[in-house]
Structure 1
């Protein structure tokens, strides 16, 4: 899709890192859960779409859900319960103006809610696209009612014009940071802080070059900082690479950051960021020559540890249509911060071929360091705010905002690479297992409306399950998690869904529960169930890294089910596999079965064809699943198959017969009788009225017609022949036989003439010279 120059390929060599051989690109979820209304609480309102903006108000037990021209207040514990809603629709005049600008009035010229943030006075700040004229307002919830204050703030630079354009925003201490486009055409991308002093990026391709914004996050880097550093706001996005020597555009993933206390420069970079720096993010995927593109991120921090130990999890997808792989990479905040604080810069160098080449800057770097926040060292030099930064430093960062070094993921490889449904969103939850270890469980939304639950166990990526949340399948566009309810919330164009972190009850046996390797679940021997860890105080059986089910008690024997089959008949014995990682096998009388012409081993059962006496006996379906600890075999189903014959076993077995009595047959007989009576009455009425001739009148009438036809036969034949040679009028064209106009699709033209001859009983009407009109030009 993107043919590159050799120099560009050389530049991408770091992306050619390969994965270990045991990493499977076809990482299969152990359990696939099809769509069912019990999978999640669902919310959808008729006629409303695009539920892609969410705000958790855990203090009010609310989920604020932004959709197209509406905001909903839903019960946080059960989002299928709507507590309040408010409409925010565009006027007819706004829709007409939007339509006049060339936009679709039914899709684009609506008000898509894109910004929902909580303010410090417990109100909500909400913005919408407003028919390509973005607008913002304040919203409050009181006494079970949502209310818009209708202040009508300008939303340019805060909210996108285009409802289908990616954007990012975050509210920090009542200051809105947003990344979107400033104009109608989408040609002026900005990273902007709206207040107290409006600060934005430069309109230069070296700062932002056709970006696709993804997400934003704040890092409290001033907390207990020995250097007196400032808090940072990180922006993740993709853009066309200005540093690549390519004929075609090459997309790369980026992370940028700005300092929270940035006020802009005094002369240079007035009301512009003085701390804007960006670097390339790599997520090396096997066999990929082109960089993978970032789609979403999630910040995961341990509250007991320093901010430098926080991680950013990100999902990546290919920019080429030839690949169907998606990946998850994790990055340490400390690694990102180090590149910005100590890394080299890139600079643009003109070359003879009249284009600009970007190379590592090896010259002298001014002091204070370009792009750095105000710290203790700067304060000692008399620089207490960005307005005091020298112009030399500001001019440097204005021309060179790009870092030379790319940021590599942890282990320099993805945590997960999977072929199949494209990844869209990610959330990571920390959970403490039964043994006390902490694990990061990844919940990944896909383009097909499913959600994957996966864990990385010491380098081994294990997908616990894949659950279908939406039907019909719709891409998951947003994911949120509530610590209060312990529930996940997903949004799509169709609606919103709420689902628990785990549904342990899907595992019906101890072996299935342990082999699921779900950190949230364990087997409770006292109650004989797979239960949620936090709901039980007893010691539970759990083996996450090894999948060791040896501690499980012996399972209860499977009760055989009786099945009968007729000689020469077919029978299917069902055996649904409890796991996608397990293989099923069949035994008859303890001997393994193999596929033959009459025995078909299916994925969900065994099919017996053209049965004989040798097919009777006891069948057993076994599930064999391999874990790191051992291979485990369990009996899934058992059948006792017997041959159904008349009189077998002292009982008379009667083959199925057609039912000749009963209320349904009697009713049918009554209906048939009534129809016959009605038909006879209808015939009698038509004979009486003369609509149908009586039988004894038919012969007389036929003789009279025969005589009349004989007398006028010559005249009629002559008239018909002349009519056939006369050109047909234009409106009569459908009657031309040669045109095969569909009135008699079962006959050719010759057959139609023959039919006419037989009907008129006139040998002169064969007309061998008669021609048919096939084209209107012949008329």
Structure 2
């Protein structure tokens, strides 16, 4: 049976790969790739401190409160490289020793990792840390430019994980802390608990089975409720499914919710949730697949709109990393609420083979409805609090907290499927474009320390860019968005960064600005710049849905660059595509050029081998990029290649050395050569006289030294030399300071591609092993 399951798994992976290959709209690539550079944003880190993975936005104080290993920082929200205050919270030597005695690593585990940061109603902050596998909490305040811990040392069990690398979730509602973590040192007692009341989940596999907690969110479902409903707290996590009968353990994604006013039961479920319900969340990427696993969520609610219009954006990754795919799915809160309030339950049923099978419950549902909050219908029955609920309702929810219906995303499919580094975090911001419509822009962190910026235009997913935030690459562990500054904040093991949601100056031409399809940016014809829509005083050229550049002014012609070549030499003409979606095409004297044994098309240019007289002439590098309206062609670079030399070229010499002209006279050269011959003959005679060299006629020399030397030389000469090709180095994109000369950041047809101004745009390529042989005797 296990072998059969392994074969099925291999078949599923191969089938999935083929399906994705055929579904190109689901496998997007970013239009622009932005390498790491200090100008991408502000960086904060301190030597000796790591794990910057907990953030709290204190927009009322103008602070980003950042939790790391053993330290808490108060950073300027406008520029996080400016530290306003900090406080150390290290473990004592005694705590570290006790942790080590329990078998934990003293360098990684037995430290204090800040894991909980929340704002309380009185303005103070509640902070918890792992504290060398003995979690502890405290209160913290910021005043007069100082961070101060009150040193009250509350027990952190159930509020903060023991293990610093274990996933957890928490949220502060009023002064009540809702947390999902583990209650014990081994991490074997998962719990969802509300403090200080202490209402928590049962220690039963049907409630939580090896969970991996992800996130929490509050929903104000009591607002304008006709039923007198209560507010809810939603929890997203993954767990081992108890309701699926497989040969191996199957992990599924879940969403659970509890009522804010839940006080537990009177006799049954004392100090336990009476409203804990959970349902499976599916993000169907491919057919016949194992469920993808949820990694993070972001709650988006439209301002001044009811809670039913709120959306949860979630990122998913596959159970098997053999399939390098990630996905984004979006769910309606009203759909989730309907499943919990009206859906069917699953219940365990014993079968003959002595195990329990979960099936849909088809019997009578007790009244009040199990898992429901106290509403007007319950109050009419005299039930005003959960302590008044009858035992039959409580026994049902204790045994059957699982809903039968699976929660599916809107439109039944993902918004985005990505082939590459696994997704880790997501935030969403809404921006109004020049066309007056509002679009949800998704910012997605990855395992490689990059951030994707993507928008869905009427069902078409478009990735605007991928920016490298951390170098060396580190997984993004936390991602926040500030409505005050309009900036993004990301944290990793290495440090924390702050970046703007858009850098319009990366586009230096109208065509590039429009084809970027960024709702944040548009082309200003007056200033001839790609400008932020929010800062524009005039109407901008923008086409986010279609990428229509027809309104752009005609670009100025590209000035040809003179380039010299030598017959028999190798020559490189530089040209990089302005975007990842563009394809490069070369023309020679207005005729299309095709790759051949002498013309090699590189990502950043054209390489000509063994140049001949016929290779001189005009070369044009054209970029062709497809949008929803047309194929747009622009000239990226143009070269005038001349034999021997071009006037004013200054660069682009042939690769083979040129014969020297105008040097010393022939008579002087002959005298120098004669002198060298005499010196060489004298040196040879002296070595023969001293015996340093073997005499040719000593054939019967028994030492064998000459044979050994000859044999070594023969072996050395017998090796074949391999032909190597040097790879050209890509320049990093510099935000606002790149002048459009690096990869994926060109201006289309409006910037002169000047080889004389850029030392990297040179026709010299050092290929010593690719020599032109003009004498057959050398072969």
With the shorter chain as reference, the TM-score category is 0.7 to 0.9
Q: Residue 445 of structure 2 corresponds to which residue in structure 1?
A: 445
Question: Does residue 114 of structure 2 align to residue 113 of structure 1?
Answer: yes
Q: Residue 467 of structure 2 corresponds to which residue in structure 1?
A: 467
Question: What is the alpha-carbon distance in structure 2 between the residues aligned to residue 648 and residue 329 of structure 1?
Answer: 57
Question: Does residue 216 of structure 2 align to residue 216 of structure 1?
Answer: yes
Q: Residue 669 of structure 1 corresponds to which residue in structure 2?
A: none
For 1:387, what is the secondary structure of its paired residue? Answer: helix
Q: Residue 64 of structure 1 corresponds to which residue in structure 2?
A: 65
Map Cα deviations across residues 272-312 of structure 1 (whole Å, 9 max, x no partner). Answer: 10100000001111145211000000001101321111100
Q: 1:124 to 1:500 in 2, by over 3 A?
A: same
In 2, are the aligned partners of 1:161 and 1:181 still within 8 Å (CA)? yes
Greater RCO structure (CA 8 Å; 6+ sep): 2
For 1:171, what is the secondary structure of its paired residue? Answer: strand
Q: Residue 617 of structure 2 corresponds to which residue in structure 1?
A: 617
Q: Residue 740 of structure 2 corresponds to which residue in structure 1?
A: none
For 2:368, what is the secondary structure of its paired residue? Answer: coil
Count of equivalent residues:
656
The aligned runs of 1:672-751 (5 Å cut-off) are: none
In 1, are the aligned partners of 2:564 and 2:646 still within 8 Å (CA)? no
Question: Does residue 492 of structure 2 align to residue 492 of structure 1?
Answer: yes
In 1, are the aligned partners of 2:20 and 2:26 still within 8 Å (CA)? no
For 1:427, what is the secondary structure of its paired residue? Answer: strand
In 1, are the aligned partners of 2:562 and 2:647 still within 8 Å (CA)? no
The aligned runs of 1:463-542 (5 Å cut-off) are: 463-542=463-542
The aligned runs of 1:416-455 (5 Å cut-off) are: 416-455=416-455
Give 5+ residue unaligned stretches, structure 1. 661-697, 699-745, 752-779
Question: What is the alpha-carbon distance in structure 1 between the residues aligned to residue 250 and residue 520 of structure 2?
Answer: 42
CA positional deviation for 1:383: 0.9
Map Cα deviations across residues 312-347 of structure 1 (whole Å, 9 max, x no partner). Answer: 010000111321111110000000000000000000
In 1, are the aligned partners of 2:562 and 2:648 still within 8 Å (CA)? no
The aligned runs of 1:564-579 (5 Å cut-off) are: 564-579=564-579
The structure whose Rg is larger is 1
The aligned runs of 1:27-106 (5 Å cut-off) are: 27-106=28-107
The aligned runs of 1:178-327 (5 Å cut-off) are: 178-195=179-196, 197-327=197-327
In 1, are the aligned partners of 2:233 and 2:258 still within 8 Å (CA)? yes
Question: What is the alpha-carbon distance in structure 1 between the residues aligned to residue 305 and residue 633 of structure 2?
Answer: 43
In 1, are the aligned partners of 2:240 and 2:251 still within 8 Å (CA)? yes
Q: 1:656 to 1:398 in 2, by over 3 A?
A: farther
In 2, are the aligned partners of 1:166 and 1:214 still within 8 Å (CA)? yes
For 2:28, what is the secondary structure of its paired residue? Answer: coil
Question: Which shows bigger deviation, 587-596 or 418-427?
Answer: 587-596
CA positional deviation for 1:25: 4.4
Q: 1:416 to 1:647 in 2, by over 3 A?
A: closer
Map Cα deviations across residues 559-579 of structure 1 (whole Å, 9 max, x no partner). Answer: 222221222222211111111
Q: 1:342 to 1:647 in 2, by over 3 A?
A: closer
Map Cα deviations across residues 658-685 of structure 1 (whole Å, 9 max, x no partner). Answer: 999xxxxxxxxxxxxxxxxxxxxxxxxx
In 2, are the aligned partners of 1:4 and 1:248 still within 8 Å (CA)? no
The aligned runs of 1:583-662 (5 Å cut-off) are: 583-644=583-644, 655=658
Q: Residue 344 of structure 1 corresponds to which residue in structure 2?
A: 344
Question: Which shows bigger deviation, 161-170 or 38-47?
Answer: 38-47
Q: 1:657 to 1:533 in 2, by over 3 A?
A: farther
Aligned-residue Cα RMSD (Å) equals 2.7
Question: What is the alpha-carbon distance in structure 2 between the residues aligned to residue 107 and residue 603 of structure 1?
Answer: 43
TM-score under structure 1 length normalisation: 0.81
Q: Residue 409 of structure 2 corresponds to which residue in structure 1?
A: 409
Q: 1:648 to 1:436 in 2, by over 3 A?
A: closer
CA positional deviation for 1:4: 8.5
CA positional deviation for 1:611: 1.7
For 1:24, what is the secondary structure of its paired residue? Answer: helix
Question: What is the alpha-carbon distance in structure 1 between the residues aligned to residue 305 and residue 440 of structure 2?
Answer: 15
Map Cα deviations across residues 421-457 of structure 1 (whole Å, 9 max, x no partner). Answer: 1111111111111111111111110000000001111
CA positional deviation for 1:655: 4.7
Q: Residue 683 of structure 2 corresponds to which residue in structure 1?
A: none
Question: What is the alpha-carbon distance in structure 1 between the residues aligned to residue 45 and residue 418 of structure 2?
Answer: 31
In 2, are the aligned partners of 1:513 and 1:521 still within 8 Å (CA)? yes
Question: What is the alpha-carbon distance in structure 2 between the residues aligned to residue 55 and residue 648 of structure 1?
Answer: 59
Map Cα deviations across residues 96-127 of structure 1 (whole Å, 9 max, x no partner). Answer: 10001000000000000000111111111110
For 1:463, what is the secondary structure of its paired residue? Answer: strand
Question: What is the alpha-carbon distance in structure 2 between the residues aligned to residue 488 and residue 270 of structure 1?
Answer: 43
CA positional deviation for 1:524: 0.7
Question: What is the alpha-carbon distance in structure 1 between the residues aligned to residue 234 and residue 302 of structure 2?
Answer: 18
Q: 1:177 to 1:647 in 2, by over 3 A?
A: closer
Q: Residue 355 of structure 2 corresponds to which residue in structure 1?
A: 355
Larger % of helix: which? 1
Map Cα deviations across residues 225-270 of structure 1 (whole Å, 9 max, x no partner). Answer: 1111111000000000000111211000000000011111111111
Q: 1:657 to 1:117 in 2, by over 3 A?
A: farther
For 1:192, what is the secondary structure of its paired residue? Answer: strand
Q: Residue 154 of structure 1 corresponds to which residue in structure 2?
A: 155
In 2, are the aligned partners of 1:279 and 1:402 still within 8 Å (CA)? yes
Question: What is the alpha-carbon distance in structure 1 between the residues aligned to residue 257 and residue 70 of structure 2?
Answer: 33
Q: Residue 138 of structure 1 corresponds to which residue in structure 2?
A: 139
TM-score under structure 2 length normalisation: 0.81
In 2, are the aligned partners of 1:180 and 1:191 still within 8 Å (CA)? yes
In 1, are the aligned partners of 2:583 and 2:623 still within 8 Å (CA)? yes
Question: What is the alpha-carbon distance in structure 1 between the residues aligned to residue 323 and residue 646 of structure 2?
Answer: 61
Q: Residue 25 of structure 2 corresponds to which residue in structure 1?
A: 24
Map Cα deviations across residues 538-570 of structure 1 (whole Å, 9 max, x no partner). Answer: 111111111111111111111222221222222
In 2, are the aligned partners of 1:599 and 1:609 still within 8 Å (CA)? yes
For 2:100, what is the secondary structure of its paired residue? Answer: helix
Q: Residue 725 of structure 1 corresponds to which residue in structure 2?
A: none
Question: What is the alpha-carbon distance in structure 1 between the residues aligned to residue 315 and residue 529 of structure 2?
Answer: 35
Question: What is the alpha-carbon distance in structure 1 between the residues aligned to residue 301 and residue 482 of structure 2?
Answer: 15
For 1:105, what is the secondary structure of its paired residue? Answer: coil
Question: What is the alpha-carbon distance in structure 2 between the residues aligned to residue 44 and residue 63 of structure 1?
Answer: 13
In 1, are the aligned partners of 2:25 and 2:461 still within 8 Å (CA)? no
Question: What is the alpha-carbon distance in structure 1 between the residues aligned to residue 636 and residue 645 of structure 2?
Answer: 29
Question: What is the alpha-carbon distance in structure 2 between the residues aligned to residue 533 and residue 659 of structure 1?
Answer: 62
Question: Which shows bigger deviation, 374-383 or 338-347?
Answer: 374-383
In 1, are the aligned partners of 2:586 and 2:620 still within 8 Å (CA)? yes
For 1:396, what is the secondary structure of its paired residue? Answer: helix
In 1, are the aligned partners of 2:563 and 2:646 still within 8 Å (CA)? no
For 2:606, what is the secondary structure of its paired residue? Answer: strand
CA positional deviation for 1:613: 2.0
Q: 1:645 to 1:580 in 2, by over 3 A?
A: closer
Question: What is the alpha-carbon distance in structure 1 between the residues aligned to residue 647 and residue 168 of structure 2?
Answer: 76
Q: 1:288 to 1:75 in 2, by over 3 A?
A: farther
In 2, are the aligned partners of 1:347 and 1:360 still within 8 Å (CA)? yes
Question: What is the alpha-carbon distance in structure 1 between the residues aligned to residue 3 and residue 25 of structure 2?
Answer: 28
For 1:94, what is the secondary structure of its paired residue? Answer: helix
CA positional deviation for 1:381: 1.3
In 1, are the aligned partners of 2:20 and 2:27 still within 8 Å (CA)? no
In 1, are the aligned partners of 2:469 and 2:497 still within 8 Å (CA)? yes
Question: What is the alpha-carbon distance in structure 2 between the residues aligned to residue 48 and residue 615 of structure 1?
Answer: 59
Question: What is the alpha-carbon distance in structure 2 between the residues aligned to residue 543 and residue 393 of structure 1?
Answer: 56
